[in-house]
């Protein structure tokens, strides 16, 4: 059991990659703290974990609310905190940079960057004081590639990767590791929304798949396995890394 007796906090865990990660961590023995703005979905994930014999609890959390994030992390840390997985994120409708208004830009940055910042800001004092722990931030292919008509999203995910590197350099001497997972397109509701915005969603999906050497898109469970690796002691000498999980797209 790779996470036995460890407590893992996961944001955006009510669906998609977050849900798959919560379930995988529980399977590996972790006490999983499921957080999300979606209370109904988050509680359903907790029930599924408990029904499978795992241990989990739900906390409603809007990652853009720094005070709320600190309150949740502080409450969890009273009983021990080992891993923080900053998974919550958002995108924006495809559009040229000049077509993305400031309100949308700021919303994307607030969720994807400030949300990760707040989680790390809340967790690091606990992790550093105990002398061990891991942070896994979920980036994107957009962390390493500039995606056309996704300027705000690319900016936000690039910031996540570089922020993680800075945290790794700062927190490493305290025994705390920080890494980023950079997934390619994954079969989630975020992808569904992206495709629905296209003129012909089915053709857009086919064209997207053709760009991947494996000729398919990722399943959430495949990204969850990569996150699990970075959260566990199997990656004990991996720090400040951006792990690309994209089926060869960036190759």
Q: State yes or no: is 194 an active-site residue.
A: no
185 within 8 A of 208, measured Cβ to Cβ: yes
List the one residue out of 36, 51, 82, 73 whose CA is nearest residue 232: 82
DSSP code string of 123-180: HHHHHHHHT-EEEEEE--GGGTS--TTBHHHHHHHHHHHHHHHHHHHHHGGGTEEEEE
**Cα distance between residue 16 and residue 170, in whole Å:** 31
DSSP code string of 71-94: HHHHHHHTT---EEEE--------
Any idea which residues carry the catalytic annotation? 153
């Amino acid at each position: 059991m790779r996470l036995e007796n460890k407590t893992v906090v996961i944001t955006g865990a009510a669906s998609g990659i977050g849900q798959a990660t919560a379930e995988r961590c529980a399977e590996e023995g972790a006490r999983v703290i499921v957080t999300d703005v979606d209370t109904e979905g988050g509680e359903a994930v907790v029930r599924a974990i408990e029904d499978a014999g795992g241990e989990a609890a739900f906390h409603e959390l809007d990652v853009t609310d720094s005070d709320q994030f600190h309150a949740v992390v502080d409450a969890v840390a009273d009983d021990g905190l080992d891993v923080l997985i900053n998974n919550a994120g958002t995108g924006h409708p495809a559009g040229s940079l000049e077509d993305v208004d400031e309100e949308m830009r700021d919303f994307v940055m607030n969720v994807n960057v400030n949300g990760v910042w707040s989680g790390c800001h809340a967790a690091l004092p606990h992790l550093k004081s105990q002398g061990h722990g891991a942070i896994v931030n979920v980036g994107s292919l957009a962390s390493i590639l500039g995606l056309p008509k996704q300027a705000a999203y690319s900016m936000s995910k690039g910031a996540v990767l570089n922020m993680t590197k800075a945290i790794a350099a700062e927190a490493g001497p305290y025994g705390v590791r920080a890494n980023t997972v950079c997934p390619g397109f994954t079969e989630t509701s975020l992808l569904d929304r992206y495709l629905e915005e296209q003129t012909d969603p089915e053709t857009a999906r086919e064209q997207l798949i053709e760009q991947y050497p494996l000729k398919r898109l990722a399943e959430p469970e495949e990204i969850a396995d990569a996150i699990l690796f970075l959260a566990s002691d199997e990656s004990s000498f991996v720090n400040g890394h951006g792990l690309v999980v994209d089926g060869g797209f960036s190759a």
